[in-house]
Chains A and B, each alone.
Chain A
Amino acid sequence: MSDIFAARSQMAMSLVFHIVFAAIGVALPLMMVIAEGLWLRTRDAAYLCVAKRWAKGTAILFAVGAVSGTVLSFELGLLWPRFMGFAGAAIGMPFSLEGFAFFTEAIFLGIYLYGWKRVSPGIHLLAGAIVAVSGVASAMFVCLANGWMNTPTGFRLVNGQLTDINVWQAMRNPAGLPEAIHMILASYCAAGFATAGVHALLALRDRSNRFHQRAIAIALLVGGSAVVAQAVSGDALARMTARNVPTKLAAMEGDFQTRSGAPLHIGGLPDVRTRETKYSIEIPDGLSLLAFHSPHATVQGLDKTPQDEWPNVLVVHIAFQIMVGLGTLLICVALVGAWLAWRNGPLIENRRFLQLLALCSPLGFVALESGWVVTEVGRQPWIIYHVMRTSAAVTTMPGLTTPLVLFTGLYLILAAIVIWLMSRHVIASPREAEIRAIAGNEVPLHARP
């Protein structure tokens, strides 16, 4: 294995691992705060039980997310020192701000998790809300830095060096904000559907349990509204990409030819040799409509880019199709759920819908990871679009296969343990007696002025 391939694999693997925890760290605190808010309003003990279970989950997942995030901050240097030496000053600001957001998150998560008996209910809820907001801020800052790698701004390139760096302009790069919004919504969507699905699976076996009923309602509300909003955010991101990173859009769409009235390829396999996308459903003018909101707009195809600057078109196109396909599917599930809830009352009564939710459980995360593949692989061979190639950024350290194997093994073990712990402590069905015990323990304390 070549060292650059090992480095790229290690970075990809670390991100694929971390992103799951980061996404849950963005979304689960919001869900847990909603549950606690409902408990304070309704005094329905099942809501408190949901909040406490999800808080436990957040504790485990946040810890693993925190350490795997630390690994990434080091890996930026361990794998890509020449990139960091070159561009650290330009992308450092969002990372520094992310550091403070992470601080706030960690501090108030400590207060939320271990302060149930030390602070008043209002302050406790506020601590949870601060965790939820700072999680969103962290995700935003990281995406602003990644956006800069796609659409670098705020500097002049003189003699191969970045000069006159303006960190605020660099942060306001065109890709940053649309990417951040897309990622934050993706986190809500992925974590919401995953949680709803797991509770649906358990509810199928234990349908009278009000714990699962409450959990599904909150998770589906968060995940479902996010996935519907995602359609709008995805459109904005795609139009930004068409204008600023046309090669990536062309690879996403498997679009080899520049033309006006470009068709949209749904599915299909791009063949780089023959320069066509086979077996796809073609919608005339579809791509022009989507990318520029005009049926006759000219969309740049891959033919405008020298072939040695193409990303892996097959991977990018397929990952994009998976993301969009699953997103559309989840929008349908969310709409069906909303309709059923409005017409028939509690969703937990509907066995078929619970089965559907359980089947959809992993799909949000599959879509999120595919989207990440689209943005990262789609930027190749550049680490900074049109400024620095990935091959020029990699470390000179030899033998990079060794850390790749080490970290892959480590993360596989961690993933297995986390899944096992979550199934035992967070999502297992509580007995009615346990729900009451949790509330019984809490009511007098929370009732204190």
Chain B
Amino acid sequence: MRAPEMLLALILMASVTFYVLLGGADYGGGVWDLLANGPRRQEQRELISNAITPVWEANHVWLVLVVVLLFAGFPAAFAAITTALNIPLTVLVIGIVMRGSSFVFRAYHTGDYRTHRRWGLIFAIASTVTPICLGVVVGAISSGHVLVRDGISINGFLAPWLGTFPLVVGLFALSLFVFLAAVYLTVEARERALQEDFRRKALVSGAIVAAMALGTFLAARTGAPQIYSGLLRPSLVWIVQGATALYAIAAFVALLTRKYKVARIAAMLQVGLILWGWGMSQSPFFLQGDMTVSAAAAAPPVLWALIGATAAGLLVLFPSIGYLMQLFKANNEDIPLH
């Protein structure tokens, strides 16, 4: 790779992808906690909680990595985003605080059912609001309204994000997280009946994802015209879109035929490709229509240092994550966590 800024942008995209595939599903789990229903309501909530407990903090760190790589490698973009999108980002961090703390508080309120449920409700609501904010931020970045000059947001502090398109992207993000969580939980459920519950939930939310994808595409026509026209032009993006559709179908078929592990891989590929499709249609811009990746980037020596540090960090990180996942996600759910 000749341009270090593109390489770091790819690393950033990969970190976003990991955050969505791992951390996103933890948010989705919170939504399913909110929507738990039927005779196995209690069991559903327990399954979700056991699935999230040992891993959510590690999964959350991907977001921290995204933020620090963003301000270290692309300080101009970080400054512009945090200025123009101050309000949704503030709501986002409040959501993050409420979600994390209510989750751990709930875990220690096992004795008193009503308090336990109250924390569970805060956890579930925060798990719903936070992904919407994330999507709104992504939508705003794509819409071309984030314009900051000399520290002043030209479109003020509402217009950059308060529109149909960012809000639709917010709901789209939520639907993706919810879908991922349901698919993962079909694999993690030990009981047949619970598996069926989450299979049904996965199918319904998968259909919602498809509808939301179409809705986002239509909203982009006026909300993010540059991206919209980019999607229509024949390019590599089409192949990515095609592959996304194929994996979506594969995930559906696998769910219908109860091949849950296959469905998990297909769903992960589907969601990952949606992200990369977005990234490709966004490129070469960092902030759509205003700031390119190279304009946002720090000087090459800084970028190379960051790339080197990230590579070294990942060498330690991936075996550790693999070990964590193997301990807690490899069909040994019968061993108690405490």
Contact = CB atoms under 8 A, between A and B. Distances in A.
Interface of A: 56, 59-60, 62-64, 66-71, 73-78, 81-82, 84-89, 91-93, 95-100, 102-104, 106-111, 113-119, 163-168, 395-398, 403, 406-407, 410, 414, 417, 421, 424-425
Interface residues of B, number: 67
A395 B104 contact: no
Interface in B267-300: 298-299
Interface string B300-338: 011001100110010011001101100110001001111
Q: Is chain A's binding surface mostly helix, strand, loop or mixed?
A: helix
Given A100-B317, A107-B321, A395-B86, A63 B75 contact: no
A113 B338 CA distance: 8
Contacts, number: 221
Nearest to B109: A421
A120 to B, nearest CB: 12
Contacts of B215: none
Nearest to A116: B338
Instruction: Name the residue in B61, B316, B336 with the highest tally of chain A Cβ atoms < 10 Å from its Cβ.
Output: B61
Greatest chain A CB density within 10 A among B57, B76, B335 is at B57
B159 to A, nearest CB: 14
B47 interface: no
Contact of A106 (B60, B81, B105): B60
Given A88-B79, A92-B302, A406 B104 contact: no
B305 A397 contact: no
B47 to A, nearest CB: 15
A326 to B, nearest CB: 29
A82 B151 contact: yes
A67 B96 contact: yes
A108 B316 CA distance: 12
Nearest to A103: B61
A22 to B, nearest CB: 14
11 contacts: A59-B104, A60-B105, A62-B57, A77-B83, A92-B306, A96-B309, A116-B338, A118-B328, A165-B302, A167-B306, A425-B108
B82 to A, nearest CB: 3
A85 B97 contact: no
B191 to A, nearest CB: 21
A67 B324 contact: no
A291 to B, nearest CB: 35
Contacts of A164: 299
Given A76-B71, A104-B316, A397-B157, A163 B299 contact: yes
A263 to B, nearest CB: 44
Contacts of A406: 90, 94
A156 to B, nearest CB: 11
Interface in B52-97: 53-55, 57-58, 60-61, 63-65, 67-69, 71-73, 75-76, 78-83, 86, 89-90, 92-94, 96-97
Contact of A111 (B53, B80, B298, B327): B327
B153 interface: yes
Nearest to B62: A103
A84 B78 CA distance: 8
B65 A103 contact: yes
A104 B317 contact: yes
B214 interface: no
Contact of A95 (B72, B81, B105, B324): B72
Given A81-B79, A103-B61, A396-B83, A64 B104 contact: yes
A67 B100 contact: yes
Contacts of B336: 117
Q: Which 6 A-B pairs have the closest CB atoms?
A: A92-B72, A77-B82, A88-B75, A85-B79, A89-B298, A100-B313
